[in-house]
Amino acid sequence: MNQELARRLYPDQNALGRHVLEGGQRARIVGVVANSKYRMLQESGVTPILYRPILDTYSSEGSFAGLTLIARSSHDSPSLGGLLRQRLLKRDPELVVNLAGTMQSHLQASMFLPRLAASLFGVCGGTGLLIASIGVYGVISFAVARRAREIGIRMTLGAQSSQVMKMVLGHGAAVALVGIVIGVTGGLALARAAASLIYGASASDPVTFTSVPLVMLAVALFATAIPARRAAMLDPNQTLRAE
């Protein structure tokens, strides 16, 4: 049995040598193995498992999948599965072998749906980043257009182009920071819901929640740089004359 089943049946005791009743049969515990994933790599809980001898006819009764044989080899070859199939069929031509392959191929197949979901999330994230960039650009451009007279007066009174550009960039950075704070807060709240789709990383991975806001801030500043440069190049005489 695995450690989880031993913990449930015999807490704070040694399970070796004890007996359990399973399916009306009495079996002796000869070993306790480490916990492992049962169905998917994304499992959050630990499933209690009782292992029976492969030669025990009861172990395959009522199981549609039958028995699973795992072999270790010093040669990492994709053809190893086919070789094992041939050896098994040589011993018993009537034996039905459903699948034969490497553990790596099995893991890749089990990760298909999570990877597909991650790809879709990536596409949605990239689309959202593009929309956010266009939105920041539009907001800052509109703000610059509305403050054209103010910028013209500032430049007439001696404001330098670099100062005007810093002012517009500061406004864009402030808008971006507000959005980043809201996004990170919402992301942390929704991360637990997507935890089952994540394998090998925490749902609140610090690298992700640090790099993504930095990327968003960089994109926002880049989207703000165009209207900021346009504001810095305004002719105060034409702007005031138009007003």
pLDDT tens profile 122-132: 898 889 888 88
208-241 as b/e, with b when 16 or more CB fall inside 10 Å? eeeebbeebbebbeebbbebbebbbebebeebee
pLDDT tens profile 91-103: 888 877 777 777 7
* Most confident region among 48-62, 147-161, 192-206 by mean pLDDT: 147-161
What value does the mean pLDDT take over residues 64-68?
65
**pLDDT score for 194:** 64
**pLDDT score for 200:** 57
What value does the mean pLDDT take over residues 78-88?
79
**pLDDT score for 34:** 92
Are residues 97 and 6 located together in one domain of the fold? no
Are residues 197 and 208 located together in one domain of the fold? yes
Those residues with Cβ within 8 angstroms of residue 66's Cβ, 6 or more apart along the chain or in another chain:
60, 96, 98
Are residues 226 and 124 located together in one domain of the fold? yes
Pick from 87, 4, 106: which is nearest to 45 by CA? 4
Q: Residue 21: what are its φ and ψ, rounded to 5°?
A: -105, 125
**pLDDT score for 30:** 92
Q: Are 172 and 228 in contact (CB under 8 A)?
A: yes
Total domains in the chain come to 3
**pLDDT score for 102:** 77
Pick from 114, 82, 90: which is nearest to 200 by CA? 114
Q: Which residues pair with 11 in a beta bridge?
A: none
pTM summary value: 0.56
Last residue of some domain: 110, 135, 165?
Answer: 110
**pLDDT score for 5:** 92
More confident residue, 214 or 45: 214
46-77 as b/e, with b when 16 or more CB fall inside 10 Å? eeeeeeeeeeeeebeeeeeeeeeeeeeeeeee
pLDDT tens profile 12-23: 889 888 888 877
At residue 124's C-alpha, the angle toward residues 228 and 178, to 5°, is: 40
Are residues 200 and 233 located together in one domain of the fold? yes
SS3 (DSSP) at 27 = strand
Q: Residue 142: what are its φ and ψ, rounded to 5°?
A: -65, -40
Q: What is the mean pLDDT of the chain?
A: 78
Which domain does 141 fall in, by range? 111-242
Are residues 154 and 232 located together in one domain of the fold? yes
